[in-house]
Amino acid sequence: MPEMNGSNTLDTIRALDPLVRCCFMTADTRPETRSALRKAGGQEVLTKPFGPRPRCAKR
């Protein structure tokens, strides 16, 4: 995204709704990126490309 990255976007959304749930999608496969996104509040981190049923689709 040109203006914000995913974790900045989540911070902005959480200012409006602190209970919002989030899944991140990234092409970055580094473990430290996945860890940082989870620490930022992501319920799941999906690596692109992903299959037709991502794990965050489960309820």
Phi, then psi, of 3 in degrees rounded to 5: -95, -35
The model's pLDDT over 8-23, given as tens digits with 9 standing for 90+, comes to: 888 999 999 999 999 9
> Mind listing the pLDDT tens digit for each residue in 33-49?
999 999 988 999 988 88
pLDDT at 55 over 80: no
Give 57's DSSP letter. Answer: G
- Is the model's pTM score more than 0.75? no
Q: Residue 52 has which token pair? A: 């037709």
- Give the distance from CA 40 to its chain's centroid: 8
- Give, for 26, the enclosing helix (H) or strand (E): strand 23-26
Q: Please check whether residue 23 is in contact with residue 6, taking contact to mean a CB–CB distance below 8 angstroms.
A: no
What residue spans define the domains of the chain? 6-57
CA distance 6 to 47: 14
